[in-house]
Amino acid sequence: MSDEFTYKTRGFFGRIPSEPHELTDRITPTRACIVLCHLGVLDAQAVEDWKLEIGGLVKTGLVLSLRELKSLPKRQFVSVHQCAGSPLAPDKPTRRVCNVSWAGVRLGDLLGMAGVDETARFVWSHGADSGEFGGIECGHYLKDLPLSRVGSDVLVAYEMNGAELIAENGFPLRLVVPGYYGTNSVKWLRKIELRSERAPSVFTTRWYNDLEADGSSRPVWGIAPQSIIVWPKPDSQLNRGGLVQVWGWAWGDANLMAVELSADEGATWQECRLERAAEWSWSKFVYDLFVPEGCTGLLSRARSRSGELQPVTGRRNAIYRVPISVL
């Protein structure tokens, strides 16, 4: 297949149709899902010619057509798909998120067919899209993830919400890494390469690395614990002393332990009822609140089983606040 592609849109493309209070469905309809493409939207029409190459530190290189991939055992799951935010402003929380049903072939099955060399440590994922972002010529979109992360739930996906992928979601083929931020789920997937070192892409070196307190950097891989309040929606007017069922969604790469709600700007926190959803899906939380006098906002925060808690500010998963007024 040629490296020459036509584009529906060149350059950065974004579509953010849903605010947190609009995410009332457990599975987000496709047209309500976030779409963010760094380099443009490919118009991949000749799908019969689309090939996926498996190479690098493998025992047998593979080149598989879309038809061959679809003939392999199909895996389906629901997972949160969240944007990590702008790589140019990584500390700004954006809450661009949705919950999606994906279907495709296990990456682990494909690597099993190819045979993994014992020196392999990372999976490089190559997209067909190329171009400029942030004033820098980027070449093809390239990301990586630890080989150890490839279990039964990393997919080479060709379906989203029970239908064929559409162009802006990576048609005809994309990677899906549940529990990882969306930047790692490469669209228009053309090549999987096993390597002993991390990829040299600007999207793994210059961008998508978080600065730690000790000055080191950490790749933007696993989704930090996070929550959003769906109801009440922002600027709701609530009756003082009235009973309101506050609810929302919580998620993260690590299993959640609890979600808490505050009606006094974080001075005190109350534990919510938290369902135990499927592993990669978001979980619904509920709290029955008697609206206190003087309340001006509701805050939610999630805590992982490892003890990680949503911070107040300064991170992409900072605590979510819904402004309200009390009558």
Q: What is the largest CA-CA distance in the chain?
A: 69
Q: How far apart are CA 203 and CA 209, in angstroms?
A: 9
What is the chain's alpha carbon radius of gyration, rounded to the nearest angstrom?
Answer: 21
Please list the residues that pair with 130 across neighbouring strands.
140
- Beta-carbon count within 10 A of 212 CB: 9
Q: Tell me how far apart the alpha carbons of residues 175 and 191 are, in angstroms, rounded to a whole number.
A: 10
**CA dist list (Å): 7 to 51, 250, 288:** 18, 36, 49
The predicted pLDDT at position 87 comes to: 66
Mean pLDDT by 10 residues, the chain (327 residues): 75 88 96 93 83 97 96 96 78 83 98 97 96 90 96 93 96 96 96 97 90 81 94 96 97 89 96 89 97 95 90 86 94
Residue 51 carries which DSSP code?
A: E
Taking the C-alpha atoms of residue 152 and residue 162, their distance in angstroms, rounded to an integer, is 20
CA–CA distance, 68 with 70 (Å, rounded to integer): 5
Phi then psi for 233, rounded to 5 degrees? -80, 165
Q: With contact defined as beta carbons under 8 Å apart, do 170 and 35 qualify?
A: no
- State how far the Cα of 184 lies from the Cα of 174, in Å rounded to an integer: 10
By the 8 A CB rule, do 324 and 100 touch?
no
Would you state the structure tokens that stand for residue 12, as one six-digit string? 């950065």
Q: Can you tell me the distance from the alpha carbon of 6 to that of 4, in angstroms, rounded to the nearest whole number?
A: 7
What confidence score (pLDDT) does residue 48 get?
A: 77
Q: Which residue has the tokens 């090939």?
A: 51
Ordered by where they begin, the domains of the chain are 7-219 (3.90.420.10), 226-326 (2.60.40.650)
User: Does residue 260 contact residue 272 with C-beta atoms inside 8 Å?
Assistant: yes
DSSP 202: T
The three-state (H, E, C) secondary structure of 219-233, written as one string? ECCECCCEEEEEECC
CB 272 within 8 A of CB 305: no
Q: Are 76 and 103 in contact (CB under 8 A)?
A: yes
Distance of CA 73 to the CA centre of its chain: 24
Residue 109's SS3 state is helix
Q: According to the model, what pLDDT value does residue 1 have? A: 43
